[in-house]
Structure 1
Amino acid sequence: MTEIEIGRGKRGRRAYAFDDIAVVPSRRTRDPKEVSIAWQIDAYRFDLPFLAAPMDSVVSPDTAIRIGELGGLGVLNLEGLWTRYEDPQPLLDEIAGLDAETATRRLQEIYSAPIKEELIGARIKEVRDSGVVTAAALSPQRTAQFSKAVVDAGVDIFVIRGTTVSAEHVSGSHEPLNLKQFIYELDVPVIVGGCATYTAALHLMRTGAAGVLVGFGGGAAHTTRNVLGIQVPMATAVADVAAARRDYMDESGGRYVHVIADGGVGWSGDLPKAVACGADAVMMGSPLARATDAPGRGHHWGMEAVNEELPRGKKVDLGTVGTIEEILTGPSHIPDGS
């Protein structure tokens, strides 16, 4: 692998974002009606190879149900407004009206309310009772605390999602989550991430995860690169993690772990680029935040924006382009791939 010299004694390699690459058609074409883009992870099959990101501007219980009906997977944020407040709608209305100067401080105040276990159960039950596949996400820091409530409520797919997640977290102040033991003892499939390198992904795969989220700091509402200085361009990250999956299959005797591109998927053309780089599916936030029936109604923010000590995200105003159904399945009246 070719490296370049950054400075005396420091070397790196060139990495590519989705914007840096394009897909080259092969010599044979096929009728789109004869092509299946269905995706299956564990026992769950989806008509569309995508997950809606666990962000309050994107997924509510209602939108999780609608996304499931349309063939995708909506992932509930179990640390968000719906598990802190019985009725978050007034707060969603307030957030929509916040300006850039006051948004971060007010978001921190709103999200300082405690998470309620009874609301975790109620929100999961609401989605589960609709008949769609139920997925919900926690950060690694809160997984041990709330996992029993999540499983007892009947979640189908458990997502552990953080800015950067490793299988070997070290802490002198608290007992870190033992991912391998946690996943082994759980009766539901686990998707975990983010990661962006071959080695980190390989170690996450060895924990028994059903899927690995690839990417950190590349989303429209993230400022991780500016705040922490970390980012890996998504095309290279997905390709490296797909290579780790290939080697893990050889190592494990054929166990397949799904690679899910999480971040940097802002346009419809980014999805085939991700698949061409080795992803099985993509996790999307900002494209769905632009739906007229999304909770944020064109305003977009994630949990990174509400961190009480070091916010690594912000509220961004994206505007709206259509309903969730129109964004996912068409028809489109906008020529930019949104």
Structure 2
Amino acid sequence: MTKLYLTYDDVLLLPNFSEVTPSRTDLEGKIPIIASPMDTVCEKEMALAIGRLGGYGIIHRNLPINEQADQLAWVLKQKVGCGAAVGVGPDMKQRVEILVKAGAKEICVDSAHGHTKHVGEAVSWIKTFHPGVECFAGNVATAEGAAFLFRAGADAVKVGMGPGSICTTRIMSGMGVPQLSAVIDCVRAAKKFKGKIIADGGIKTSGDMVKALAAGADAVMLGSLLAGTDEAPGKKVKIKGKWFKYYRGMGSAAAMKHGSAERYGQAKTAKKFVPEGVEGLVEYKGKLADFIYEFIGGLRSGMAYLGAKNLKELRQKAKFIQITPAGWSESKPHSIYDYRH
């Protein structure tokens, strides 16, 4: 145990000489954000909205097969790209076949532990029988796990074991890797296979997204940050004059009862589940477009500080420095009274 593993709050990026302003950065008409396939984050409304903004949505699998396929088809009819998630349970092949008939060009094999025989076999089956379908797979947290999925045929690998705000995998099982180090290690593996890496979980701010992309991720996957928007399917509630939206992990007991138990290796017929997630409320954010505008503004600002005109230059010019807890405390607003709350 000699290597120190770090997460986003453990580091900052060194600024460079720059002739680039935020308005002159080029994202090539796309935003590197994917809406997480969670049942309080991404259904058809979210997939359509984020797709129109240049991002991407993956419709969750806690839906009856035909309903998921109908939602996918509805989005695709709007001329917007959209993916769908599947598990590795008994209905996997049937679900894939129905989704492909509905027009799916991207399928996400979604598991809490992607470095397993079942996930590898699912990816191989999809790429064998539907070679034209792009396959995302995960989740993993090591270079070995990423390489395993790329060898199985995955086009993109989701990285993240336990960093999400509603995930308790690390607490329940003792397993996981701090997210920044996990991304860096998996990016190294991806280069050997010319595959893509999606940093899934642990993104709390636009600065975290900048760090993930600088570490080599091709995109970030967001859950809690999108769950508070109008387009997310979670219920909106008002508490003491303030609006919130319901958000739950796919490893929460409530989500497991609705079908995601198999994602965590637990039988759907179990009388009692062992949760690896929680449920709660997130602050209501309003329209997705308004949130994304500000969030991407943070990315463009980070690129300008590095002197990077595009994401390729961001990765080339990025230099991380490790900081102390005091350094991180200094990074946040301090020494003022927030009169708004």
TM-score range, shorter chain: 0.7 to 0.9
| Counterpart check, 1:121 vs 2:59 | no
3-state SS of the aligned residue for 2:47? helix
Cα distance in 2, alignment partners of residues 243 and 136 from structure 1: 27
Residue 178 (structure 1) shift = 4.3
Give 1:184's match in structure 2, choosing from 109, 115, 128. Answer: 128
Cα distance in 1, alignment partners of residues 249 and 80 from structure 2: 24
Output one character per residue of 1:218-270: Cα deviation in whole Å (capped at 9) or x when no partner: 11111111222212111000000011122x24xxxxxx211110011121111
Residue 169 (structure 1) shift = 4.3
Cα distance in 1, alignment partners of residues 274 and 168 from structure 2: 11
The residue type paired with residue 82 of structure 2 is: T
The residue type paired with residue 300 of structure 1 is: Y
Give 1:198's match in structure 2, choosing from 143, 152, 162. Answer: 143
3-state SS of the aligned residue for 2:58? strand
Cα distance in 1, alignment partners of residues 295 and 16 from structure 2: 27
Q: What is the TM-score when the length of structure 1 is the normalising length?
A: 0.75
Residue 150 (structure 1) shift = 1.0
The answer to whether the Cα contact below 8 Å between 2:47 and 2:57 also exists between their aligned partners in 1 is: yes
Structure with more relative contact order (C-alpha pairs < 8 Å, separation 6 or more): 2
Counting only pairs closer than 5 Å after superposition, residues 230-245 of structure 1 correspond to structure 2 as 230-245=175-190
Give 2:80's match in structure 1, choosing from 101, 114, 132. Answer: 132
Counting only pairs closer than 5 Å after superposition, residues 11-22 of structure 1 correspond to structure 2 as 13-22=3-12
Output one character per residue of 1:112-134: Cα deviation in whole Å (capped at 9) or x when no partner: xxx3x332321111111111002
Correspondence for 1:326: 290
| Counterpart check, 1:300 vs 2:242 | no
The answer to whether the Cα contact below 8 Å between 1:222 and 1:304 also exists between their aligned partners in 2 is: yes
Cα distance in 2, alignment partners of residues 257 and 295 from structure 1: 31
The residue type paired with residue 49 of structure 2 is: R
The answer to whether the Cα contact below 8 Å between 1:143 and 1:160 also exists between their aligned partners in 2 is: no
Correspondence for 2:98: 149
The answer to whether the Cα contact below 8 Å between 2:88 and 2:122 also exists between their aligned partners in 1 is: no
Residue 180 (structure 1) shift = 2.2
The alignment's C-alpha RMSD in Å is 2.5
Number of corresponding residues: 273
| Counterpart check, 1:310 vs 2:274 | yes
Residue 307 (structure 1) shift = 2.6
| Counterpart check, 1:77 vs 2:26 | no
| Counterpart check, 1:207 vs 2:152 | yes
Higher share in helix: 2
Percent same amino acid among aligned pairs? 30
Residue 194 (structure 1) shift = 0.6
Output one character per residue of 1:176-225: Cα deviation in whole Å (capped at 9) or x when no partner: 83432432321210011111101111111112211110002111111111
Q: What is the TM-score when the length of structure 2 is the normalising length?
A: 0.74
Cα distance in 1, alignment partners of residues 69 and 11 from structure 2: 43
Output one character per residue of 1:274-295: Cα deviation in whole Å (capped at 9) or x when no partner: 0111101100001111214422
The answer to whether the Cα contact below 8 Å between 2:204 and 2:225 also exists between their aligned partners in 1 is: yes
The residue type paired with residue 279 of structure 1 is: A
Correspondence for 1:9: none
Cα distance in 2, alignment partners of residues 203 and 244 from structure 1: 10
Cα distance in 2, alignment partners of residues 205 and 293 from structure 1: 33
| Counterpart check, 1:287 vs 2:225 | yes
Output one character per residue of 1:73-120: Cα deviation in whole Å (capped at 9) or x when no partner: 011002x2xx3xxxxxxxxxxxxxxxxxxxxxxxxxxxxxxx3x3323
Correspondence for 2:32: 49
The answer to whether the Cα contact below 8 Å between 1:120 and 1:149 also exists between their aligned partners in 2 is: no
The residue type paired with residue 115 of structure 2 is: S
The residue type paired with residue 57 of structure 1 is: T
Q: Which runs of 5+ in 2 are unaligned?
A: 237-244, 258-272, 297-331, 334-341
Give 1:160's match in structure 2, choosing from 94, 99, 109. Answer: 109
Residue 71 (structure 1) shift = 1.0
3-state SS of the aligned residue for 1:304? coil
The answer to whether the Cα contact below 8 Å between 2:150 and 2:195 also exists between their aligned partners in 1 is: yes
